[in-house]
Structure 1
């Protein structure tokens, strides 16, 4: 800690010496220039500062930005202190953290938090960093004193200097008066130079104002890094060689501080040909499409923590075309046949009719060709068998297919297409965005022949977001769950046959129930009282309730956000309530997100040192105490839970209770606190639990379900 503070003393001393002087003013009065040499002079309530002999406005864009006193500490805008000597100031609005970086030195202050972190060393301050007049303020005097700076204070005038401040209040009265008046007005002046002669000789000996260093805690420590969070968590980039979102990495420390450590992290992509993090800390796609993980590593005093960013580069490309009919037979010359359809297939499973954008090249137009006006097959004046090449080009991608045409005048084509059979006829997926079976389509003819016509078929899905057939003729699940039919069509010589492939996608839900949604969460205890500071309380439990009546403990997957961590917070390691160093009453917001559904609940915590919480929870009573259903899947009565206390008071705590049924297939409690019968008959008990200030009470509701 002492080594870090000494190194920072030199840095902060530079703040006071970087400003140059401007035009001078004449004065006949003797000024103690040693008093203001290399120093910063400010005035409580003044918007001007004297820095190394030059007057300068503290904030040229906002004259309301002025030093002020908070709990006997001087608060000054952070940019006034930092950017003057070239430091980088980063404000993390989400976590309300200010990071000051100069070379290898890092100072972190969090709005509302009394902890200052200097190169990982935590120091507890008397006054927290705060926001006033839309500017971030820090306790400058505290920082200066902690780094060995000295200060002089008189009637609101503050002089902060790296050297010992020697003041004679009589002899230096003119200097003090001059500074006090000029620091209030936002004008630019220059303090008098040492060449001026004094108009009077001091009659008193100068005295040393004793320097009283700030008292610090007897124990300081280096905070440990708990985790890093890199955002974005996932990102889809459309196409190769594209620059996307900026990457921001936030480190979370054991003392509650946070800081932006993006530039101190290492980024390793599993495949840089797909995506990587550029030198400008932005996501960049490579030459290939696909899905890749980028590992983010932060090293901190021997610790190493990691997070992952998932990037999907989705370059939708043309993969193939299918022209139908694939074969055609004419028994007349100069005749008109079927209309042509050309379907384009893309990498994301989508399809498009591109017939009118294709080129058709016949081996011999005297035998057969395509009419470019209405896109129909036509026979010519000669007999024979030829191929017509169909070509389609899009975004520098070119695909071809062929149509085989036979022309034989007065001939009889007795062989007819009877049917097609596609395998598999059905498929189930238990994962989204997953590969399935190869599709194979066999055509059956009237003469008993069979032929593989898979590549000549059209595949049309009811919903490609659920499932589709790829250009390689493989089944593939999409991003959504559901059931779809894929229609397979094959056409030959004017005959068209269809077959269906049924596909069900359940994702990771083994029950396949797409309708089950998150409806609410309940955090217990709902209220808690501490009579000691820096104490550990009860363990938190967060229960998620779903639309089918089921519930699940999701405590470890929740975020806990305290209004003021100096009063109370949730320990993220053990999920226990903890009181801080301050008294007060705060709410802790609990947030849980699942499948794009987000629910919140709150825990109210009161901290009063040596306080008494005489009112205790005595019992809860749930109504109705019993219910009978004569129908399955039916709505019943609404539940009300009343808590009774030792002082005779009572209140409705229904929304803060947990409801656990013996069998949700018989009966359960909905998110609207109504009883609901399930699909089975039977008799069950529903246990209702309410927790407050470490006291837990239960009640039960007995329910019988008997159809008719």
Structure 2
């Protein structure tokens, strides 16, 4: 029976297997794999790196499947590279073969594992080449296992400007003048190498200015100075530009004048530029007959302008032909040389003809000095003194003492005094300052109302017995030689009510002891020393102490008074002092030794004083093993200190001495070890046994700090890079542009970061770069105008008509810009002519002056309106 049952089960099992085989065979026939594809066939890894491999199955039917997880992954060298679910991990340097198998298809991946690169180095930090010259750079790789390798031929090189330099296996060649940066890459590390080709230190024109006749020519010599000190004429090689090609230009190293005027020729060679000014058949000079003019308010004066030509020594009157302008028309106005003084102040008058401008300084009643008749008034309450006299002295030496009524008077404390046109009245006791202002000048007078210069007591010291009393009077002395008994008016106080009291100058002894009585009147005080029970003698338990650092001794004191009172515990009442608290301190008679040295203790009670000499760990000589220290940051130095006692025995006291640095921001010192903090100079002081030794220290001191630009002229929105170079104490130089501290004096005009200045406004400012205690200041001009003019200076319009005027700004670099829209337009009389954005509208008959202002310069247009 059992045998038949087993046979039946076997048949069922065979049936199931046959059925599964039939089904499986059908599936393989329907989805037969065509091939297995991996995303990579080769891998290059460093030790510790990982990489992901993916496997894609492509079937005969054309369908695909991501079979990464289902694939069987194996590594032929698991100690070199292991693999799990397609993730390859590099173990050690060597080669391995990864096998991927899925549905009978197998694909291999070759894996090359190299050592991990920790860092790259180059044997040259920068290169300076001449044209067509070459230089070899060596690149070294340092691996994690501590080994290194020359990888110069293995590294990849890229150049940001291939027209300037080329590089092959580290061999750099200069192609054209300029600067470029080479990026060097190997494995996961990279370096940069700055290269300068034919970069000159400076270029200089032999002549910075040239005068030519119309159509005249003149050769020009341009000297280039290279870093090695050699020179060469590069006038023909340089790139020349001109701001006015219709006036002058450079062709083949010669300057030629094409038209009358002044032009600026700029030569650029490599990264350096220089400018040559060329004058072509223009006026030699303009002169004003009065460069400095003194005027009274509402006065009128005439200026005369003369022009002198190169070909004629006889000046020509150009007063009516020039363009005239005032820096402040609220102070002085000018029309064809005629000056009109409007108000007190200073202004500059500009006369322009062609491209030349001359100026005259105008002073309208501006005092050079303002003096008040007295700088101190001593007054009594309710007193009124004669008015103060105010004298103004002008630039021509004349003076005026009648300006008190025109000046502005003020007082800082009107509760004490009042002032009007120099007249001062005293209200109450106190102090005040009277100020007078006129023409921009200021002068002051101090006022004291019932303020004594001093107060004095009839007695400086009072000795009383317990219950006794004495009378003291108090006298106040004033600057006007007045004396006043203020005993009853003064405020009386005592330092101890238990010992002595004072009322209205009457001093009463309460109990034995000492106290200080103070009398106060106004802002002055005086003191009277009071002794109750007069001291006959004071004795201290010891006259001399010899101590060691850290020891303490308690002294006792005994006081005997004339009334036979004896105080054997007077130490608490005695005033104890030490002449040198660094050596020993004393409090209530307890003496504590602090450090080696000598001091004198004083015990004072009333008029008696007892002194005690104290010595602590004294030495007869102290010396250091070095006289000075010179080193750089990231280093330390040690100083050994030796003390010699009176017997001649010497011992090392480095750890016991007191060490100090004159500047903890430069160097720190602890037990003789000097640690640098920053660059600079400091002094290390060691003190022991009453002796001191000083050692000068110099840490990475910067000798000089130089910027590559001494002056910047730019426009709003532009950027200018400044390079900062520091020369160290050993003569080496260092580019500190990015580590220096940069500042702009006016944040409204621009910003500076790592030497890169960005102009954001118009005006003048200064940028500073600071490093190692040195600072370089560079003046900056932004949108600085040379002059401002309009296309017309006079115009006639009929009422109701309009006209358009254009404003042209010329900058100091010679560029020009139409500023009609951004300029400010104003009219002296809008009832005659109104203006907006250069468009003038005639509103009524008469004459008006249109003023256009831009970047702190202004010019005017005269408008005549007729019916």
* Higher-strand-fraction structure: 2
Common fold: TM-score over 0.5: no
TM-score range (shorter-chain normalised) is: under 0.3
TM-score by length of 2: 0.19
When you count helix as a share of all residues, which structure comes out higher? 1
TM-score by length of 1: 0.22
Higher-RCO chain (CA-CA 8 Å, sequence separation at least 6): 1
Greater Rg by CA = 2
